[in-house]
């Protein structure tokens, strides 16, 4: 049985529902009781929705990402140095 994503147009309540393909779409929102449910068609629609959300977040935090990238570079440099030392020690022990 496929999983359908529903979203309520009245209260924005979102949930997944296991439902037969033959079953008619639900209309009544379990949260607010209004017949305002909208079924999001297929898993593809959900992925597009989530993807655009991620994109917006990334776009907004461009400066943050640059700072994070700089930190990562420093961290990897440090890690590479310590890795090299460890490898040197192990080789020396053998
Ligand atoms: Zn609702």
**What confidence tier does 66 reach under pLDDT thresholds 50, 70, 90?**
confident
Q: Find the distance separating the first CA and the last CA of the chain, reported in whole Å.
A: 58
Q: Quick one: DSSP state of residue 26?
A: P
Domain range summary for the chain, segments of one domain joined by +: 3-93
pTM, to two decimals: 0.43
Mean pLDDT value across the chain: 74
Between the CA of 90 and the centroid of ligand 1 the distance, in Å, is 62
Between the CA of 37 and the centroid of ligand 1 the distance, in Å, is 7
- CATH number for the domain running over 3-93: 2.20.28.10
Between the CA of 51 and the centroid of ligand 1 the distance, in Å, is 24
Helix (H, G, I), strand (E, B) or coil at 44: helix
Q: Let me know: does 16 contact 46? Beta carbons within 8 Å.
A: no
What are the strands, taking DSSP E only, across 1-94?
Answer: 3-8, 14-18, 37-40
- Tell me the per-residue pLDDT of 36-65, one tens digit each, with 9 for 90 and over: 999 887 555 444 455 555 544 445 566 777
Between the CA of 12 and the centroid of ligand 1 the distance, in Å, is 6
């Amino acid at each position: 049985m496929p999983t359908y994503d529903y979203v309520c147009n009245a209260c924005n309540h979102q949930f997944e529902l296991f439902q037969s393909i033959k079953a008619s779409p639900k209309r009544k929102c379990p949260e607010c009781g209004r017949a305002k449910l909208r079924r999001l068609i297929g898993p593809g629609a959900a992925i597009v929705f989530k993807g655009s959300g991620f994109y917006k977040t990334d776009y907004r935090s461009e400066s943050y990402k640059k700072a994070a990238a700089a930190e990562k570079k420093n961290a990897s440099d440090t890690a590479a140095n310590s890795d090299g030392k460890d490898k040197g020690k192990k080789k020396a022990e053998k």
